[in-house]
Amino acid sequence: MRSGPTALVVGGVAYSLIAASTTPFTLPADVLTGLAIVAMAVLVIVRWPLHTRSRSSSSSSVSTSTSSLSSLPAGTAGSGGRTAHRYLPWLLLLIVFVAWELFNYLVHGTRANHPTFSSITDANDRFYILKALLFMVWLASGWVIIGRGSRQRAPRRAESTPGETHP
């Protein structure tokens, strides 16, 4: 394994273990969670293009900042709605998730009878290792988000430069 990614993973695991030892509604929890969010914001500013890139197969001069079709992933913009259905099940799942979360949050009754996603994760947080794992997943998802929106992702993938640490 290359040293860059290894250091990143070790650092992420160590940070998660430390963050998981904090208690919500305390300064250490605020600081450690806030630092990760600030780091995410900085990386987004540094690594993401100011305007969304053109992902159309022809890389035409059509502006990409306002066209949703042109900002689709490779292979989707050119074929329009032909491949849009690939995303539909995920959208439906998100709708069901949000609807069920809102129902449980708003319905009359105890939280035990109507658990929200938050209350389930609160139960998870009683176990240090599970909380650390959840924090790791959260950090990793941030790294994936940064990588997927990065302006350098496509060229780097093609060049496969050794020693790169991008996700």
Partner 1 sequence: MSVSTLSYVIWGAIGVAALGLWGLSYLRPTALAHPADVVEKLATHPVGRVVLVLGFGWLGWHLFAR
Choose which of 62, 120, 157, 165 interacts with partner 1 (CB under 8 A): 120
CA angle 85, 142, 103 (to 5 degrees): 60
Q: How far apart are CA 116 and CA 72, in angstroms?
A: 32
Comparison of 57 and 141: residue with beta carbon closer to partner 1: 141
Q: How far apart are CA 117 and CA 103, in angstroms?
A: 11
Q: Is 157 in the site for partner 1 (CB under 8 A)?
A: no
Using CB under 8 A as the binding criterion, the count of chain residues that bind partner 1 stands at 54
Q: How far apart are the first and last CA of the chain?
A: 14
Encoded tokens for 108: 């009359």
Q: Which stretch binds partner 1 (CB under 8 A): 3-11, 41-49, 155-163?
A: 41-49
Q: How far apart are CA 167 and CA 164, in angstroms?
A: 9
Minimum distance from CB of 166 to partner 1 (Å)? 14
Are 167 and 146 in contact by the 8 Å Cβ rule? The answer is: yes
The mark string for 44-83 relative to partner 1 (x by CB under 8 A, - otherwise) is: x---x--xxx-x---------xx-x--xxx--x-------
Stretch (H or E) spanning 122 = helix 117-124
**Residues lying near partner 1 in the complex (CB under 8 A):** 19, 22, 24-25, 29-30, 32-34, 36-37, 40-41, 44, 48, 51-53, 55, 65-66, 68, 71-73, 76, 85-87, 89-90, 93, 96-97, 100, 104, 109, 112-115, 117-118, 120-121, 134-135, 138, 141-142, 144-145, 148-149
